[in-house]
Protein backbone atom coordinates (compact mmCIF):
# COMPACT_ATOMS: atom_id res chain seq x y z
CA UNK A 1 0.00 0.00 0.00
CA UNK A 2 1.37 3.41 -0.98
CA UNK A 3 2.15 5.83 1.81
CA UNK A 4 0.26 9.05 2.33
CA UNK A 5 3.35 10.80 3.70
CA UNK A 6 7.02 9.95 3.29
CA UNK A 7 9.39 11.93 5.48
CA UNK A 8 12.99 12.35 4.35
CA UNK A 9 14.81 13.91 7.27
CA UNK A 10 16.51 13.76 10.62
CA UNK A 11 16.19 11.59 13.70
CA UNK A 12 17.73 12.83 16.95
CA UNK A 13 17.85 12.01 20.60
CA UNK A 14 16.55 15.08 22.45
CA UNK A 15 18.46 15.81 25.66
CA UNK A 16 16.10 18.10 27.54
CA UNK A 17 16.66 20.16 30.69
CA UNK A 18 14.27 22.72 32.18
CA UNK A 19 15.66 25.97 33.60
CA UNK A 20 14.24 28.92 35.52
CA UNK A 21 16.17 31.18 33.17
CA UNK A 22 18.67 30.71 30.39
CA UNK A 23 22.33 31.42 31.23
CA UNK A 24 24.16 34.38 29.80
CA UNK A 25 27.67 34.11 28.30
CA UNK A 26 30.06 32.54 30.81
CA UNK A 27 27.26 31.88 33.31
CA UNK A 28 26.18 28.59 34.88
CA UNK A 29 22.63 27.92 36.05
CA UNK A 30 21.09 24.85 37.65
CA UNK A 31 18.44 22.92 35.76
CA UNK A 32 16.15 19.95 36.17
CA UNK A 33 17.13 16.30 35.77
CA UNK A 34 18.19 15.52 32.21
CA UNK A 35 15.62 13.67 30.13
CA UNK A 36 16.43 11.76 26.92
CA UNK A 37 13.54 11.65 24.46
CA UNK A 38 13.17 10.64 20.80
CA UNK A 39 13.17 13.62 18.47
CA UNK A 40 14.59 15.18 15.32
CA UNK A 41 12.46 17.17 12.91
CA UNK A 42 12.04 14.29 10.49
CA UNK A 43 11.19 11.73 13.15
CA UNK A 44 8.88 14.17 14.93
CA UNK A 45 6.90 14.76 11.76
CA UNK A 46 6.71 11.06 10.97
CA UNK A 47 5.55 10.17 14.49
CA UNK A 48 3.00 13.01 14.58
CA UNK A 49 1.49 11.94 11.26
CA UNK A 50 1.56 8.30 12.31
CA UNK A 51 -0.20 9.01 15.60
CA UNK A 52 -2.90 10.82 13.63
CA UNK A 53 -3.57 7.60 11.74
CA UNK A 54 -1.56 8.33 8.62
CA UNK A 55 0.21 5.77 6.45
CA UNK A 56 3.72 7.10 6.96
CA UNK A 57 7.27 6.04 6.16
CA UNK A 58 10.63 7.64 6.90
CA UNK A 59 13.95 7.70 5.06
CA UNK A 60 16.64 8.62 7.57
CA UNK A 61 19.84 7.46 9.30
CA UNK A 62 20.61 6.70 12.93
CA UNK A 63 23.92 5.79 14.50
CA UNK A 64 24.78 2.33 15.81
CA UNK A 65 24.51 3.54 19.41
CA UNK A 66 21.86 3.19 22.10
CA UNK A 67 20.14 6.35 20.92
CA UNK A 68 19.63 4.74 17.52
CA UNK A 69 17.73 1.86 19.08
CA UNK A 70 15.58 4.31 21.07
CA UNK A 71 14.71 6.27 17.94
CA UNK A 72 13.83 3.22 15.87
CA UNK A 73 11.57 1.89 18.61
CA UNK A 74 9.73 5.22 18.96
CA UNK A 75 9.03 5.42 15.24
CA UNK A 76 7.81 1.85 15.10
CA UNK A 77 5.54 2.37 18.09
CA UNK A 78 3.80 5.21 16.21
CA UNK A 79 3.11 2.94 13.26
CA UNK A 80 5.78 4.48 11.02
CA UNK A 81 7.30 2.22 8.33
CA UNK A 82 11.00 2.03 9.31
CA UNK A 83 12.13 -0.26 6.48
CA UNK A 84 14.19 2.65 5.10
CA UNK A 85 15.59 3.78 8.46
CA UNK A 86 19.28 3.15 7.82
CA UNK A 87 22.14 2.69 10.32
CA UNK A 88 25.58 4.30 10.15
CA UNK A 89 28.64 3.66 12.28
CA UNK A 90 29.07 6.31 14.97
CA UNK A 91 26.69 8.47 16.96
CA UNK A 92 23.09 9.28 16.21
CA UNK A 93 22.02 12.89 15.94
CA UNK A 94 21.51 14.70 19.23
CA UNK A 95 19.60 17.88 20.12
CA UNK A 96 20.49 19.76 23.31
CA UNK A 97 17.31 21.51 24.46
CA UNK A 98 16.76 23.97 27.29
CA UNK A 99 13.15 24.77 28.18
CA UNK A 100 12.39 28.00 30.04
CA UNK A 101 9.56 28.66 32.50
CA UNK A 102 7.37 30.07 29.70
CA UNK A 103 7.61 26.82 27.74
CA UNK A 104 9.81 28.32 25.02
CA UNK A 105 12.95 26.42 24.08
CA UNK A 106 16.47 26.90 22.77
CA UNK A 107 18.04 24.09 20.76
CA UNK A 108 21.52 23.10 19.58
CA UNK A 109 21.70 20.17 17.15
CA UNK A 110 24.66 17.83 16.62
CA UNK A 111 23.78 16.09 13.32
CA UNK A 112 25.65 12.81 13.83
CA UNK A 113 24.31 10.17 11.43
CA UNK A 114 21.89 12.67 9.88
CA UNK A 115 24.85 14.22 8.08
CA UNK A 116 25.47 10.90 6.33
CA UNK A 117 22.08 10.62 4.63
CA UNK A 118 23.06 10.98 0.96
CA UNK A 119 21.66 11.39 -2.54
CA UNK A 120 22.54 7.72 -3.07
CA UNK A 121 20.19 6.83 -0.20
CA UNK A 122 17.45 8.78 -1.97
CA UNK A 123 18.06 6.96 -5.25
CA UNK A 124 17.99 3.63 -3.42
CA UNK A 125 14.61 4.61 -1.95
CA UNK A 126 13.19 5.98 -5.21
CA UNK A 127 10.26 3.56 -5.22
CA UNK A 128 9.29 4.62 -1.69
CA UNK A 129 9.37 8.32 -2.55
CA UNK A 130 7.57 7.89 -5.86
CA UNK A 131 4.71 6.09 -4.10
CA UNK A 132 3.99 8.96 -1.69
CA UNK A 133 1.19 11.50 -1.97
CA UNK A 134 3.26 14.06 0.00
CA UNK A 135 7.00 14.12 0.73
CA UNK A 136 7.98 16.11 3.81
CA UNK A 137 11.48 17.62 4.00
CA UNK A 138 13.47 19.71 6.47
CA UNK A 139 17.06 21.00 6.66
CA UNK A 140 18.65 18.89 9.41
CA UNK A 141 20.08 16.66 6.68
CA UNK A 142 22.46 17.70 3.83
CA UNK A 143 20.90 20.02 1.28
CA UNK A 144 21.91 17.89 -1.74
CA UNK A 145 19.92 15.04 -0.19
CA UNK A 146 16.91 17.34 0.31
CA UNK A 147 17.13 18.55 -3.29
CA UNK A 148 17.38 15.00 -4.66
CA UNK A 149 14.34 13.91 -2.65
CA UNK A 150 12.32 16.94 -3.78
CA UNK A 151 13.13 16.40 -7.45
CA UNK A 152 12.38 12.68 -7.24
CA UNK A 153 9.03 13.44 -5.59
CA UNK A 154 7.92 16.11 -8.05
CA UNK A 155 8.96 14.06 -11.07
CA UNK A 156 6.68 11.28 -9.77
CA UNK A 157 3.74 13.65 -9.18
CA UNK A 158 4.06 13.83 -5.39
CA UNK A 159 3.62 17.08 -3.48
CA UNK A 160 6.69 18.48 -1.70
CA UNK A 161 6.44 20.25 1.64
CA UNK A 162 9.70 21.86 2.79
CA UNK A 163 10.03 23.11 6.35
CA UNK A 164 12.95 25.54 6.14
CA UNK A 165 14.33 24.67 9.56
CA UNK A 166 16.98 25.29 10.65
CA UNK A 167 17.05 28.41 8.49
CA UNK A 168 19.48 28.23 5.58
CA UNK A 169 19.88 29.68 2.13
CA UNK A 170 18.51 27.33 -0.51
CA UNK A 171 18.68 27.54 -4.31
CA UNK A 172 15.74 28.83 -6.29
CA UNK A 173 15.30 25.54 -8.14
CA UNK A 174 14.54 23.86 -4.79
CA UNK A 175 12.16 26.60 -3.67
CA UNK A 176 10.24 26.24 -6.93
CA UNK A 177 9.38 22.63 -6.00
CA UNK A 178 7.81 23.55 -2.65
CA UNK A 179 4.03 23.42 -2.27
CA UNK A 180 4.12 24.78 0.37
CA UNK A 181 7.29 26.22 1.82
CA UNK A 182 6.70 26.20 5.60
CA UNK A 183 8.55 28.79 7.71
CA UNK A 184 8.19 30.78 10.89
CA UNK A 185 8.69 34.55 10.89
CA UNK A 186 12.43 34.31 11.61
CA UNK A 187 13.00 31.77 8.85
CA UNK A 188 10.94 33.86 6.44
CA UNK A 189 13.01 36.97 7.18
CA UNK A 190 16.23 34.95 6.81
CA UNK A 191 15.35 34.09 3.20
CA UNK A 192 14.46 37.64 2.22
CA UNK A 193 17.11 40.29 1.53
CA UNK A 194 16.52 42.97 4.14
CA UNK A 195 13.75 40.92 5.71
CA UNK A 196 12.77 41.56 9.32
CA UNK A 197 10.84 39.12 11.56
CA UNK A 198 8.78 42.07 12.78
CA UNK A 199 7.48 42.76 9.26
CA UNK A 200 3.82 41.97 8.72
CA UNK A 201 3.46 38.24 8.05
CA UNK A 202 1.40 38.95 4.94
CA UNK A 203 4.25 41.07 3.58
CA UNK A 204 6.77 38.32 4.32
CA UNK A 205 4.58 35.72 2.64
CA UNK A 206 4.01 37.80 -0.48
CA UNK A 207 7.74 38.41 -0.82
CA UNK A 208 8.49 34.73 -0.32
CA UNK A 209 6.12 33.78 -3.14
CA UNK A 210 8.20 35.96 -5.44
CA UNK A 211 11.18 33.68 -4.74
CA UNK A 212 9.41 30.84 -6.51
CA UNK A 213 7.59 28.43 -4.15
CA UNK A 214 4.15 27.37 -5.34
CA UNK A 215 2.66 28.29 -1.95
CA UNK A 216 3.83 29.49 1.47
CA UNK A 217 2.73 28.83 5.04
CA UNK A 218 4.09 31.01 7.84
CA UNK A 219 3.58 29.60 11.33
CA UNK A 220 2.81 32.25 13.94
CA UNK A 221 2.90 30.29 17.20
CA UNK A 222 -0.07 31.12 19.41
CA UNK A 223 -1.43 33.38 16.64
CA UNK A 224 -1.92 30.45 14.27
CA UNK A 225 -0.63 30.53 10.71
CA UNK A 226 -0.78 32.46 7.48
CA UNK A 227 -1.41 30.73 4.14
CA UNK A 228 -0.30 32.35 0.88
CA UNK A 229 -0.93 31.24 -2.70
CA UNK A 230 -1.09 33.06 -6.03
CA UNK A 231 -4.78 33.62 -5.24
CA UNK A 232 -4.15 35.56 -2.03
CA UNK A 233 -3.20 35.49 1.63
CA UNK A 234 -5.38 34.14 4.44
CA UNK A 235 -4.88 33.97 8.21
CA UNK A 236 -5.73 30.85 10.19
CA UNK A 237 -6.27 31.41 13.91
CA UNK A 238 -5.05 28.96 16.53
CA UNK A 239 -7.07 27.74 19.51
CA UNK A 240 -5.93 29.34 22.76
CA UNK A 241 -4.22 26.96 25.20
CA UNK A 242 -1.86 27.25 28.18
CA UNK A 243 1.55 26.17 26.82
CA UNK A 244 3.73 23.78 28.80
CA UNK A 245 6.51 23.09 26.27
CA UNK A 246 6.71 24.28 22.66
CA UNK A 247 9.36 21.72 21.68
CA UNK A 248 8.31 20.02 18.45
CA UNK A 249 5.05 21.93 18.06
CA UNK A 250 6.07 23.19 14.63
CA UNK A 251 6.76 19.61 13.57
CA UNK A 252 3.30 18.54 14.76
CA UNK A 253 1.81 21.36 12.68
CA UNK A 254 3.77 20.39 9.57
CA UNK A 255 2.92 16.70 9.97
CA UNK A 256 -0.79 17.42 10.25
CA UNK A 257 -0.60 19.77 7.28
CA UNK A 258 1.12 17.10 5.15
CA UNK A 259 -1.38 14.42 6.14
CA UNK A 260 -4.43 16.52 5.30
CA UNK A 261 -2.88 17.61 1.99
CA UNK A 262 -2.24 13.94 1.19
CA UNK A 263 -5.93 13.26 1.85
CA UNK A 264 -7.06 15.97 -0.55
CA UNK A 265 -7.65 19.05 1.62
CA UNK A 266 -6.83 22.40 0.11
CA UNK A 267 -4.02 24.32 1.79
CA UNK A 268 -6.21 26.53 3.98
CA UNK A 269 -8.30 23.62 5.23
CA UNK A 270 -5.16 21.61 5.96
CA UNK A 271 -3.70 24.54 7.90
CA UNK A 272 -6.90 24.89 9.96
CA UNK A 273 -6.51 21.31 11.11
CA UNK A 274 -2.75 21.71 11.61
CA UNK A 275 -3.03 24.67 14.01
CA UNK A 276 -5.29 22.55 16.24
CA UNK A 277 -2.74 19.73 16.29
CA UNK A 278 0.05 22.21 17.04
CA UNK A 279 -1.97 23.70 19.89
CA UNK A 280 -2.56 20.23 21.33
CA UNK A 281 1.18 19.52 21.22
CA UNK A 282 2.22 22.49 23.36
CA UNK A 283 0.03 21.27 26.24
CA UNK A 284 2.43 18.43 27.05
CA UNK A 285 6.15 18.10 27.74
CA UNK A 286 8.59 17.00 25.06
CA UNK A 287 8.02 16.61 21.36
CA UNK A 288 6.75 13.19 20.32
CA UNK A 289 5.32 12.43 23.75
CA UNK A 290 2.99 15.43 23.42
CA UNK A 291 1.50 14.59 20.02
CA UNK A 292 -2.21 13.80 19.88
CA UNK A 293 -3.44 10.39 18.74
CA UNK A 294 -6.12 9.72 16.15
CA UNK A 295 -9.54 10.34 17.66
CA UNK A 296 -8.20 12.37 20.58
CA UNK A 297 -10.15 15.63 21.04
CA UNK A 298 -8.25 18.65 19.72
CA UNK A 299 -8.45 22.23 21.00
CA UNK A 300 -11.07 24.39 19.27
Question: Known binder of ligand: residue 41?
Answer: yes
Q: Is 63 annotated as a binding residue?
A: no
Whether residue 65 is annotated as binding a ligand: the answer is: no
CB neighbour list of residue 110: distance below 8 Å, 6 or more residues apart: 91, 93, 94, 95, 96
Q: What is the largest CA-CA distance in the chain?
A: 54
Q: Is 219 annotated as a binding residue?
A: yes
Query: Per-residue DSSP letters for 216-257?
Result: EEEE-GGG-EEEEETTEEEEEPPPP---S--TTHHHHHHHHH
End-to-end alpha carbon distance in the chain: 33
245 annotated among ligand-binding-site residues: yes
Ligand-binding annotation for 224, yes or no, is: yes
Q: Is 251 a catalytic residue?
A: yes
266 is in an annotated binding site: no
Q: 43: which residues sit within 8 A by CB, 6+ positions away? A: 7, 9, 10, 11, 12, 58, 60, 71, 74, 75, 288
Q: Say whether 140 counts as a known binding-site residue.
A: yes
Binding residue per annotation — 220?
yes
Annotated binding residue at 74? no
- Give dist(CA 282, CA 248) in Å, integer: 8
Which residue is catalytic, options 199, 231, 251, 265? 251
255 labelled binding-site residue:
no
Residue 33 among known ligand-binding residues: no
248 is in an annotated binding site: no
60 carries a ligand binding annotation: no
The annotation status of 43 as a binding-site residue, yes or no, is yes
Which positions make up the binding site for ATP? 184, 219-224, 250-251
Which positions make up the binding site for K(+)? 245, 247, 281, 284, 286, 290
Q: Which residues are catalytic?
A: 251
Which positions make up the binding site? 12-14, 40-44, 140, 184, 219-224, 245, 247, 250-251, 281, 284, 286, 290
Which positions make up the binding site for substrate? 12-14, 40-44, 140, 251
Amino acid sequence: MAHEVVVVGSVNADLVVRVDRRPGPGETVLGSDLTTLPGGKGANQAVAAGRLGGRVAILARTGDDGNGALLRAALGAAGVDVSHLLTSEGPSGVALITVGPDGDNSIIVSPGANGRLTKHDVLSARELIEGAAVVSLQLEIPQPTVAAAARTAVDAGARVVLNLSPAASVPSDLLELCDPLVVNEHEAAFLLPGGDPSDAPATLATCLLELGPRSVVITLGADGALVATRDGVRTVESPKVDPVDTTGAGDAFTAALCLRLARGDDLEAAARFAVRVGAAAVRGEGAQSSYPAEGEPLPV
